[in-house]
Structure 1
Amino acid sequence: MTVIVRDLRPGTPADIEGFIRVRHRALPYVFFSPASVLHGLSLPRPDAHARKLLAVADGEIIGTAQVGLAEDSREPGQGSLNVYVDPARTGRGAGTLLVRTAEEHLAAHGAVKLFAWVLDEPADRAFAERHGYRPSRSAHFLRLDLACAALPPLQDPPPGVELRTAADFADDPRPLFALDAEAGSDEPGDIATEFTDYAAWVDEYWNHPHLDRELTSVAVADGRPVAFSVAHTHDAGRYRTGMTGTARAHRGRGLAKLVKNDSLHRARAAGYTEAYTGNDADNGPMLAINKWFGYEICATEVRHVRELG
């Protein structure tokens, strides 16, 4: 059996369907759709040198890789490659070929350090270490049975705070951009990034096809957003929290719980039955909040790092 690696062809529905199929089999805690795959491919990010690669064996797509440079990193030369192979199609060399192709591409565009998320399973970790990657930080996927969960009762906002939705900012989402930039810069991670390009944020995040602006809850104080819980939804009844964050000056007031609880209640009322989220293992405050809601860890990934040269 011959395995080849090539780029995903945006105009070929079979390529997009194959990419989604492999990802859902290897990583069922994150949902993809044709719209979200095409959205990622359409982003104007020339400095990222991003590629979506497919491993194909006898006409069947059996592996994928998402590759690029962190163009919003404060430190240049930070690259990433996330490789997933259909669990029923491992052992055929697809993963190795995807890694080799991704590394050559990133090195050619100036990458000096590579980061890869790897499922915390013995075979996956051994594969990464054989290719020269060392383990770093970890992150958890969490799931909540939203149909049956005993969610905390809804609470009134504290004095001076009101609840709105992202849809209320449709005419001017810049205040949400400012909050996202502040809250996101404090999240733990290997690559320090910062949001400074509003237009790029609009393209990638505000216009994401899974963003549900009606179910994204926002706490507003003094006329500006101070906390939010971003909702992504999928037509299979699945809901995912993309980000929950609070402005630094308003932390310690329970606003993260307030906005997330409001969004979860409204998502359940809208018919969503499964809720997913993800947290860095060092993000103790958010893990505690999710445990309070009843989320349970369903899988863990370990970030692996390789220095080039």
Structure 2
Amino acid sequence: MTVIVRDLRPQDPADVEAFTHARHLALPHVLWAPAGVIHRTIHTHPDARYRSLVAEEEGEVIGTAQVGLAHDSPEPGRGYLNIYVRPDRTRRGAGALLVRIAEEHLAAHGATRLYSWVLDEPQNRTFAERHGYRAGRSAHFLRLDLTNGTLPPLRTPPPGVELRTAADFADDPRPFFELDAETAGDEPSDVGTEFTDYDAWIEENWKHPLLDHALTTIALVDGRPAAFSVAHTDGAGRYATAMTGTARAFRGRGLAKLAKNASLHRARAAGCTESLTGNDAGNEPMLAINKWFGYEICATEVRHVRELT
């Protein structure tokens, strides 16, 4: 049987559903929903040269790739390709073909160093190494059972601190953007990030269809946004923390815990049954916070890198 690779058709609901299903089978520890797949495909910044690819065999989507340039990095020439093949459809050549098409696309747009997340399983790491990628940092996927787990009790914010939601910033999200930009720059990563384009952030993040404005929680200190926890939900009981952070001047005061705990309690009350998140393996403070909440590591992935010559 012949495997072909093509671009996702975001206007075709069946194609988007097939992409989402294949991703969920390969990576169930991440919140996948058709609306999110469409949004990223259509609204990622043009400078990212972003593409969603599918590998198709006899009309069935068996593999997927998300490919682009790290346009918001201060280092030029950084690209990424994240390849996932359905676990029941491996060894058909889909992964190798997706890698080739993705690399050709990125090289044509000036990428000189490529990064790829690879599940920490022998066959996946061997595949990456065979294609010239070397292993680097690792990260964990974590899961919290909101139905049967026990959350830490809610506590009253200390004097001068109040908890608000993203919905409270509907008229002017810029303070939220500035907090997100500062914390994103400090997040452990191989590729630096600089959020400088407010309009792009609005399109890609604030207007993301999975962003739950009622559950996303911001801790304000004397009226200034100081810490936050971003919540994504799929409307079917799954909740994911997309980002949690604290501004540098306010770290060490437990504000991120305060914001995230409030969000999780409201999520459970709203009917969410599980919470997903991910942390860099070296991000010990955030891993400790999530352990305190009751999250358990359910899988690990390894960042691989390849230099293009």
Give the TM-score category using the shorter length. Answer: over 0.9
Asked if the contact 2:31–2:239 (Cα under 8 Å) also holds between the matched residues in 1, the reply is no
Partners of 1:183 and 1:16 in 2: how far apart? 32
TM-score, length basis structure 2: 0.99
Tell me, in whole angstroms, the C-alpha distance in 2 between the residues paired with 1:300 and 1:44.
Answer: 26
1:142 aligns with 2:142: yes
Q: Which residue of 2 aligns with 1:87?
A: 87
> 2:64·2:83 contact (CA, 8 Å) conserved in 1?
yes
Shift of 1:223: 1.7
Percent identity between the two aligned chains = 72
In structure 1, the partner of 2:71 is 71
* Amino acid in the other structure paired with 1:89: R
Shift of 1:18: 1.2
Q: Structure 1: how far apart are the matches of 2:59 and 2:153?
A: 52
Corresponding residue of 1:3? 3
- The 2-side partners of 1:44 and 1:52 are apart by 11
For 1:263, the equivalent position in structure 2 comes to 263
**Following the alignment from structure 1 to structure 2, what is the Cα–Cα distance between the partners of residues 5 and 262?**
44
Q: What secondary structure, in the 3-state scheme, does the structure 2 residue paired with 1:286 have?
A: helix
**What displacement does 1:44 show?**
5.4
Give the match for residue 47 of structure 1. 47
Residues 127-171 of structure 1 deviation map (CA, whole Å, 9 limit, x = unaligned): 000000000001100000111111111111111111111110010
Q: Give the letter aligned to residue 46 of structure 1.
A: P
Deviations 1:249-280 (A, max 9, x none): 11111101111111111111111110111000
Judge conservation of contact 2:166–2:218 (CA < 8 Å) in 1. Answer: yes
Specify the alignment match of 1:100 in structure 2. 100
Q: Which residue pairs with 1:187 in the alignment?
A: 187
Structure 2 residue runs of 5 or longer lacking an equivalent are: none
Q: TM-score, normalised by structure 1?
A: 0.99
Between the aligned partners of 1:271 and 1:189, the Cα distance in structure 2 is 33
Structural mapping, 1:2-21, within 5 Å: 2-21=2-21
Q: Report how far residue 222 of structure 1 moved.
A: 2.3
SS at match of 2:211: coil
In structure 2, what is the equivalent of residue 206 of structure 1? 206
Q: Please report how far the alpha carbon of residue 9 of structure 1 lies from its aligned counterpart in structure 2 after TM superposition.
A: 1.3
Contact kept, 8 Å, 2:44 with 2:204, in 1: the verdict is: no
Counterparts of 1:217 and 1:190, CA distance in 2: 28
The letter for the 1-side match of 2:166 is A
Q: Measure how far apart 1:176 and its partner are.
A: 0.3
Partner AA of 2:171 in structure 1: D
